[in-house]
């Protein structure tokens, strides 16, 4: 049971209402640390395109502490992509984002689901994507 | 023996026990003070100041005993998940602190005429002072955490970590050559104390113990009630 | 192999974090030296007295200034959720506490270790005692790191009264101070005293993962 739990942990990642990126370091350092620590099979080119689509590549040498809420949120998504795990647990993933990035997020979700991943998330607004099971509170 | 681990059984038992314990302890205190002030002899060296012993020694024993019981209950609470241990720890820590404080104050009152100073940096005295500070830290931890579950468990862990001080207090007089005299009363050997002084000492120890248990019963009952109102 | 890589990159991450905030570590050391100045000003610049009580002052100040930085031991990682992310990547809480203890030793205590010779010049402590100071401090500071890990993990959920953490460290560091100052003052019994220090280190090292792992788990569960 315990061993299975650790196996399960190896496939889970999450976003909470906090920013897990290190505020003192630049985006580049953060990405480097994640890439090495998570031992992911995402290569540099893929990360660069992800950075470009998230429009974070212009801030590459800026410290995370100086970014806005929406940009740190996008950085969190970058972490999810780098971690490359199957189960995503997201708490309010679409808050603080503008419309363009919301669209982008939806696409990312659909991509992830098509790659045999699963997403559990909570949200205030209707995301407008296909949801297998919905719990209304 | 279920009442030692079960809050509702403890409440029933406490209602039976509280009054007799209180009355018995008051009677014992009366007899004990009578013995220690009038019926026991003066020491041929120390004179009348030896009578401080009848407060000093029982409170020191009980300070150690309280901590030992707290260790037992923290192990019960952490390892066997018995929440009564947490209740006990929260309720009993101030009692132990008061016993330690009585021990330190009476000790320094005794030390002034005998050793010539209020305080010496001797191993026994220092370790008892550390025991007092550990009790204070336990009380402050109980006051300063907001989350109840975290507070209880953290305090139990702290009690277990702080238990390294207990054998140091007990054996400090044997391990180091100190000004404080070694233990005169032990289980294994014949006590090196006269029976006329032994009787009031034993009576006072039981009086202190019973009053401690009575106060502990009161405090544990209030703790159980406050916890019930917290949950509901 | 993956596990070893993860450990290496955990330290890479700690290195990056500490180097980006290197002014914090340097402030600690400045605090250390300023308190030496204040001690000397309050005692008076008499060479004999200073060299007599110098070792005691040195140890007291090392203890105080290394407990100053305990507030950030787990707090940052706890608040931004990195602790949980690291746990999800295959480190148990006890193992995280061991890694963090060594990182605290490397990035907070080793700079103190390096600044001891300068402090010795200021306090007029002879070269012959330098070796004993190094030996006792390199063991003692590891003990202090372990104690710091325990106390700061205990006080993660304690928002009101953080000073309690420093008090917890200082109350348990009494034997460390006694034996390590004893090493310097009684050089003939160096071997026995350093063995006692090693014993304390092993005890604390055994308690540390258990206590701080449990506290970390508790705080994360009830956050």
Pick the residue with more confidence: A2 or C28? C28
> Chain A contacts of C6, Cβ < 8 Å?
37, 39
The CATH number of whichever domain residue A62 belongs to comes to 3.40.50.300
Contact A36 C80 (CB under 8 A): no
Q: Which residues, in sequence order, are CB contacts of B5 under 8 Å at separation 6+?
A: B76, B82, B84, B85
Q: Could you tell me the residue range of the domain that residue A116 belongs to?
A: 2-122
The yes-or-no verdict on residue B178 having pLDDT over 70 is: no
The token pair at A92 is: 């309010």
* A contacts of C10 (beta carbons < 8 Å): 37
Mean pLDDT of C194-199: 90
Interval C97-133: pLDDT, tens: 999 999 999 998 898 888 988 988 888 887 888 888 8
Q: How confident is the model at residue A77 (pLDDT cuts 50, 70, 90)?
A: confident
Q: Is A69 exposed, middle or buried (0-12, 13-18, 19+ CB in 10 A)?
A: exposed
* Residue A135 domain-assigned (yes or no): no
C201 by Cβ neighbours in 10 Å (0-12 / 13-18 / 19+) ranks as: middle
Of B3-7, B31-35, B75-79, give the range with the top mean pLDDT: B75-79
Instruction: Tell me the sheet residues that pair with B43.
Output: B47
Asked whether the beta carbons of residue C89 and residue A23 sit closer than 8 angstroms, the reply is: no
The residue of chain C nearest to residue B157, with distances taken between CA atoms, is C211
Helix (H) or strand (E) holding B207: helix B195-231
The residue range of the domain holding C126 is 2-221
CB-CB under 8 Å, B134 with C158: no
List the Cα angle C214/C137/C179 in 5-degree steps. 85
Q: How far apart are the first and last CA of chain C?
A: 33
Mutate to test the interface with C, among B78, B129, B131, B150 (most CBs of C within 10 A): B150
Q: What pLDDT does residue A55 have? A: 79
- Under the banding of pLDDT at 50, 70 and 90, the label for residue A2 is low
Instruction: Determine the distance in angstroms separating the CA of C89 from the nearest CA of chain A, rounded to an integer.
Output: 6
**Strand pairing partners for A90?**
A15, A121
Subunit partners of chain A (3 or more CB pairs within 8 A) = C
Tally the C-alpha atoms within 13 A of residue C100's C-alpha that lie toward its C-beta: 31
Contact check, Cβ <8 Å, B150/C172: no
User: Residue A24 and residue C80: Cβ atoms within 8 Å?
Assistant: no
From CA B183, how far away is CA B173, in angstroms rounded? 8
Strand-strand pairing, A118-122 and A12-15:
unpaired
With beta carbons under 8 A apart, name residues in chain C contacting B164.
Answer: 172, 203
CB contact under 8 A, C6 and A37: yes
Alpha helices, DSSP H, located in chain A: 2-9, 27-37, 44-53, 69-83, 99-114
Query: For residue A53, is it within any domain?
Result: yes
Identify the DSSP state of A63.
B
Q: Who among A20, A24, A29 is closest to C85 (CB)?
A: A20
For residue C109 the two structure tokens come to 């205590």
Q: From chain A, pick out residues whose CB is under 8 angstroms from the CB of C82.
A: 20, 22
What value does the mean pLDDT take over residues B119-139? 90
Q: B130–C159: do the CB atoms touch at under 8 Å?
A: no
- How far does C25 lie from chain A, in Å, by closest CA? 15
In a domain, A19, yes or no: yes
Residue C85 contacts residue A13 (beta carbons within 8 Å): yes
Q: Is the pLDDT of residue B187 over 60?
A: no
Average the pLDDT over B146-170 and give the result: 89
Cβ contact C154:B157 at 8 Å: yes
Rounded percentage of chain B residues whose pLDDT exceeds 90: 42
pLDDT bin (cut points 50, 70, 90) of residue A85 is confident
Under 8 Å between Cβ of B221 and B8: no
C88 at interface of A, judged by CB pairs closer than 8 A: yes
Q: Which candidate in C159, C164, C169, C203 is best for mutational testing of the B interface (most B CBs within 10 A)? A: C164
Q: Give the closest of C161, C207, C218 to B140, CB-based.
A: C161
Predicted local distance difference test score (pLDDT) of residue B43:
72
User: Which of C47, C39, C66, C58 has its CA nearest to residue C180?
Assistant: C58
Q: Which residue of A has its CA nearest to C79?
A: A18
Q: Is B70:B152 a contact under the CB 8 Å cutoff?
A: no
The arithmetic mean of pLDDT across residues B56-80, rounded, is 93
**Res C187 pLDDT > 80:** no
Residues of C whose CB is below 8 A from B137: 164, 167-168, 171
Sheet containing A87-91: give its strands across. A12-15, A87-91, A118-122
In angstroms, rounded to a whole number, what is the distance separating the alpha carbons of residues B49 and B58?
A: 16
Q: Verify whether the Cβ–Cβ distance A33 to C20 is below 8 Å.
A: no
Structure tokens at B60: 């020191």
Average pLDDT value for residue range A100-120: 81
Which token pair is B28?
């014992």
- Interchain CB distance below 8 Å, B158 and C154: yes
Cα-based distances in Å from C88 to A19, B42, B107, C164: 16, 70, 54, 30
pLDDT band at residue B186, thresholds of 50, 70 and 90? low
pLDDT score, position A128:
65
Q: In this predicted structure, what is the pLDDT of residue C88?
A: 85
CB distance from C23 to chain A under 8 Å?
no
| A91 membership: H or E segment, kind and range | strand A87-91
Please report whether residue A17 resides in a domain: yes
**Inter-chain residue contact B157 with C174, CB threshold 8 Å:** no
Q: What does pLDDT average to over chain C?
A: 86
Residue B154 pLDDT > 80, yes or no?
Answer: yes
Q: Cβ of B141 and C158 within 8 Å?
A: yes
- Say what angle helices B123-144 and B53-79 make with each other, to 10 degrees: 50
Q: Pick the residue from chain B with its C-alpha nearest to C223.
A: B147
Q: What is the pLDDT of residue A79?
A: 84
**Cross-chain Cβ contact C171/B130 below 8 Å:** yes
Q: Is residue A9 part of a domain?
A: yes
Best interface-test mutation with C: which of A20, A75, A80, A85 has the largest number of C CBs within 10 A?
A20
Structural domains in chain C (count): 1
Decide the pairing of beta strands A118-122 and A87-91. parallel
> What tokens appear for C40 in the block?
């000397």
Range picked from A30-44, B180-194, C74-88 for highest mean pLDDT:
C74-88
Question: A22 and C5 in contact by Cβ < 8 A?
Answer: no
Residue B12 has a pLDDT of 87
């Amino acid at each position: 049971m315990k061993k299975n739990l650790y196996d399960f942990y190896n496939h889970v990642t999450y976003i909470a209402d906090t920013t897990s990126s290190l505020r003192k370091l630049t985006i580049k350092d953060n990405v480097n640390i994640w890439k090495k620590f998570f031992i992911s099979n995402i290569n540099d080119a893929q990360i660069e395109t992800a950075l470009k689509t998230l429009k974070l590549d212009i801030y590459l040498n800026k410290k995370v502490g100086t970014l806005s809420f929406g940009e740190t949120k996008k950085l969190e998504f970058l972490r999810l992509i780098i971690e490359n795990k199957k189960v995503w647990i997201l708490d309010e993933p679409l808050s603080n984002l503008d419309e363009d990035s919301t669209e982008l997020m939806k696409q990312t979700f659909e991509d992830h689901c098509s790659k045999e991943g699963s997403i559990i998330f909570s949200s205030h607004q209707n995301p407008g994507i296909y949801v297998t099971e919905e719990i209304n509170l | 023996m279920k009442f030692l681990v079960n809050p509702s059984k403890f409440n029933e038992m406490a209602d039976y026990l509280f009054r007799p314990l209180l009355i018995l302890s008051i009677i014992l205190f009366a007899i004990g003070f009578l013995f220690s002030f009038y019926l026991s002899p003066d020491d041929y060296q120390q004179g009348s100041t030896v009578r401080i012993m009848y407060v000093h020694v029982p409170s020191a024993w009980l300070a150690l005993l309280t901590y030992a019981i707290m260790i037992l209950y923290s192990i019960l609470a952490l390892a066997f998940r018995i929440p009564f241990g947490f209740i006990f720890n929260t309720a009993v820590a101030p009692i132990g602190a008061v016993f330690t404080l009585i021990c330190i104050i009476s000790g320094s009152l005794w030390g002034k005429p005998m050793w010539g100073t209020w305080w010496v940096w001797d191993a026994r005295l220092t370790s008892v002072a550390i025991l007092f500070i550990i009790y204070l830290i336990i009380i402050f931890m109980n006051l300063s955490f907001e989350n109840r579950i975290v507070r209880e468990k953290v305090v139990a862990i702290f009690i277990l970590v702080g238990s390294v001080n207990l054998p140091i207090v007990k054996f400090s007089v044997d391990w180091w050559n100190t000004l404080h005299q070694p233990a005169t009363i032990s289980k294994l050997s014949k006590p090196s104390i006269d029976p006329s002084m032994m009787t009031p000492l034993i009576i006072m120890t039981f009086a202190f113990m019973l009053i401690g248990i009575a106060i502990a019963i009161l405090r544990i009952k209030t703790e159980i009630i406050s916890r019930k109102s917290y949950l509901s | 192999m993956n596990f070893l890589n993860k450990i290496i990159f955990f330290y890479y991450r700690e290195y990056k974090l500490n180097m980006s905030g290197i002014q914090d570590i340097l402030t600690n050391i400045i605090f250390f030296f300023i308190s030496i100045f204040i001690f000397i000003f309050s005692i008076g610049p008499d060479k004999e007295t200073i060299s007599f009580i110098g070792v005691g002052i040195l140890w007291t100040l090392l203890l105080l200034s290394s407990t100053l930085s305990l507030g950030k031991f787990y707090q940052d990682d706890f608040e931004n959720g990195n602790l949980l992310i690291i746990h999800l990547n295959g480190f148990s809480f006890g193992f995280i506490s061991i890694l963090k203890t060594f990182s605290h030793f490397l990035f907070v205590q080793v700079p103190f270790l390096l600044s001891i010779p300068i402090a010795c010049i200021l306090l007029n402590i002879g070269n012959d005692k330098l070796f004993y100071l190094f030996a006792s401090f390199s063991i003692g500071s590891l003990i202090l790191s372990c104690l710091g890990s325990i106390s700061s993990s205990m006080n993660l959920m304690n928002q009101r009264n953080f000073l309690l953490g420093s008090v917890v460290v200082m109350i348990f560091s009494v034997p460390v101070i006694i034996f390590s100052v004893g090493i310097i003052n009684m050089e003939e019994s160096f071997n026995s005293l350093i063995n006692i220090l090693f014993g304390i280190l092993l005890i604390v090292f055994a308690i540390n993962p258990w206590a701080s792992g449990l506290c970390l788990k508790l705080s994360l569960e009830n956050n």
